[in-house]
Structure 1
Amino acid sequence: MGAVLTPIIGQQGVAALYRRTFHLCVSTYPRLAGIYDSVPAAMDLIALKSVLVEQNETDALFFGEVLLTTLYELLTTLIGPSLTTRLLVDVWQPSSSDTSSQEISP
């Protein structure tokens, strides 16, 4: 997402969107506050991953889902659903190397 959004809103814009997303996540789900406090202000996905691997699997998956959903919703409120969808279409689609269980035929 950062690579897609940086040319449009700049690095500082992406960082602000990232931090705002975290803030909204914690406001909605206070149990995520510990994770929020551990993540650096910059959009550092390696640091985010290191924080998430310290969580139990359920919390890490929940936080990841809430984070992505909140970021998408926030971006939608800022630029609209159509443009958000067009910008992030490649981000949401699985890579060609991913094979979902629905694509596997018996």
Structure 2
Amino acid sequence: MHVALTPVIGQQGVAALYRRSLHLCATQHPHLASICGSAQAAKGLSSLNAVLAEQSQADGLLFGEVLLTTFYTLLTTLIGPSLTARLLRDVWEPSLSDAPSQDISP
């Protein structure tokens, strides 16, 4: 997301969205406040992996989902849903190197 958004809103813009997303996560999900605080103290996206690695799998997944959803929603309110979708299309689409999902329908 950083790579996709930096040319449009700059590094400081991406960092500001990240910090705001962390703040909103902590206020909307008080049980995640300690993780948000650790991520905020880490000062950057590159340190987020280390913070997530310290969490239980369930907490890490929940935090990641909440953070990404909050970031996406915040970006959508700022630049609109169409532009957000276009800018982040490559981020959300599965990689060609990923194994194809199996059809489990009867």
TM-score by length of 2: 0.89
Give the Cα–Cα distance (whole angstroms) in 1 for the partners of residues 102 and 70 of structure 2: 26
Give the Cα–Cα distance (whole angstroms) in 2 for the partners of residues 97 and 8 of structure 1: 27
2:74 corresponds to: 74
1:24-77 deviation per Cα after TM superposition (whole angstroms, max 9, x unaligned): 1111101111111112464323x1111111111000000000011111111000
Gaps of 5+ in 1: none
Identity in percent: 63
Give the Cα–Cα distance (whole angstroms) in 1 for the partners of residues 65 and 100 of structure 2: 18
1:44 corresponds to: 45
How many residues are treated as equivalent by the alignment? 103
Equivalent pair of 2:25/2:70 in contact (CA under 8 Å)? yes
Q: How far off is 1:94 after superposition?
A: 1.1
Equivalent pair of 1:26/1:32 in contact (CA under 8 Å)? yes
TM-score by length of 1: 0.89
Gaps of 5+ in 2: none
Q: How far off is 1:97 after superposition?
A: 1.1
